[in-house]
Amino acid sequence: MTPGPVDVPSEALLEMARPIFHHRTAKFRELLEETTGLLKQVFRTKSDIVTFTSSGTGAMEASIVNILRKDEKALFVSGGKFGERWGNIAKAFGIETVEIKMPYGNAVDPEDIRKALDADPKIKAVYTTLCETSTGVVHDIRAIGKIVKDTDVLLVVDGISSVGAVEIETDEWGVDMLVVGSQKALMIPPGLAFLTVNDKAWAKVEQVSAPAFYLSLKAARKSMAKSDTPYTPAITLIAGLKQSLDMIVTEGVENVWKRHAKLADATRAGVKALGLELFAESPSNSVTAVKVPEGVDGAKIPSKMAEDHGIRIAGGQADMKGKIFRIGHMGYVDKIDVIGVLAALEMTLADLGHKFDVGASLRAAQDIFLAG
Ligand SMILES: *Cc1c(COP(=O)(O)O)cnc(C)c1O
């Protein structure tokens, strides 16, 4: 129950246990075509999707180096560890950045993006995050898309911990590039990253001489025309991905979003019933960040819960260490998983000295589930 890596369903695990096969074959090309088609349904796009053999950050890097020239600027929304990563990648490639910084736990005001774009015509791409996993905040990408859509600026969204759990309409909202990773709501082990590239983004890719080789989008495009990848793909992970995507599409993408909304609702009601407060101003349906109550050693909550009850949640990162803990409820998760994590949380908090009405979180969560 962390915000990734998540549980992998047995359908995908068994598929990945099969013997390896060669990738320069019709069998692999068919597999890649099929998974790309399924990804398009889940990502809500008709655009191209590039599959990289890397963790999610590889696709973040690809979405910077392939579309910006050295004389252009990147606008990025921080307010959390992953938003900050956008800025760190740009800086590593000598690309000037403009930062919109909010206090941790807050969502960006889309109007601030409009103001920043109006103030600096050198900004040619906006980098933001659908769910900022480090704070549990979900940003209003629909509203940001409206602002960026009719400009010559590209909108790039990190959907790594949210796509497959939280509503996203990539094409309709005007997202030019969407970054996704395999080990979050897509229910596959770490090792694959995905990047959607629409026509507006391809046009920019073609103009930029990118300081990239392995992550070159021009190289990816060339191979894509033959349903291929430039270098050896992670065949096993892609075979597993096909199974997990089949599960998502069979359940129905909208139903998957609804299930996550319900699980998140129950989790939020549960922790509130224990007298705890949420950290995020606009909480994501994929991960719930909770403030550690006064008098409790927050750094001990995740480790103690794992040791005593075999359920792993995440603590806070960097400055937030010991101040918050995060419960992931994305992917292969159901009602009883949420009840289980709340029960383990209650026992852990009781052992660490927090006073509350035992069973209150379970009643609150079950009330939500029983309401249908
Ligand atoms: C997990 C995560 C990442 C990092 O991806 P890696 O797979 O560790 O490279 C980036 N952004 C967000 C929002 C994430 O949740």
Q: What digits encode the pLDDT tens for the residues 113-164?
A: 999 999 999 999 999 999 999 999 999 999 999 999 999 999 999 999 999 9
| Res 372 pLDDT > 90 | no
Q: Give the residue whose CA is nearest to atom 12 of ligand 1.
A: 160
Task: Give the CA angle between residues 178, 253, 264 to the nearest 5°.
Answer: 90
Q: Is the CB of 161 under 6 A from ligand 1?
A: yes
Verdict on whether the full-model pTM lies above 0.85: yes
DSSP readout, 106-157? PPP-HHHHHHHHHH-TTEEEEEEESEETTTTEE--HHHHHHHHTTSS-EEEE
Which of 64, 88, 161 has most ligand 1 atoms within 8 Å of its beta carbon, as the pocket-test mutant?
161
pLDDT digits (tens, 9 = 90+) for 178-205: 999 999 999 999 999 999 999 999 999 9
Residue 246, both tokens: 């089949």
pLDDT digits (tens, 9 = 90+) for 46-100: 999 999 999 999 999 999 999 999 999 999 999 999 999 999 999 999 999 999 9
Q: Domains of the chain, with CATH numbers?
A: 10-251 (3.40.640.10), 253-370 (3.90.1150.10)
Which of 82, 86, 163 has most ligand 1 atoms within 8 Å of its beta carbon, as the pocket-test mutant?
82
pLDDT of residue 130: 98
- Cα separation values, 366 from 194, 233, 276, 332, Å: 36, 44, 18, 19
Which neighbouring-strand residues pair with 334?
Answer: none
Query: Which residue from 170, 187, 207, 145 is spatially nearest to 44, judged by alpha carbons?
Result: 170
Which residue shows structure tokens 């927050």? 298
Strands 73-77 and 96-100 turn out to be: parallel
Ligand 1 centre from 57 Cα, in Å?
6
Q: Is the CB of 348 under 6 A from ligand 1?
A: no
Query: Which residue from 226, 338, 336 is spatially nearest to 273, judged by alpha carbons?
Result: 338
Ligand 1 centre from 358 Cα, in Å?
35
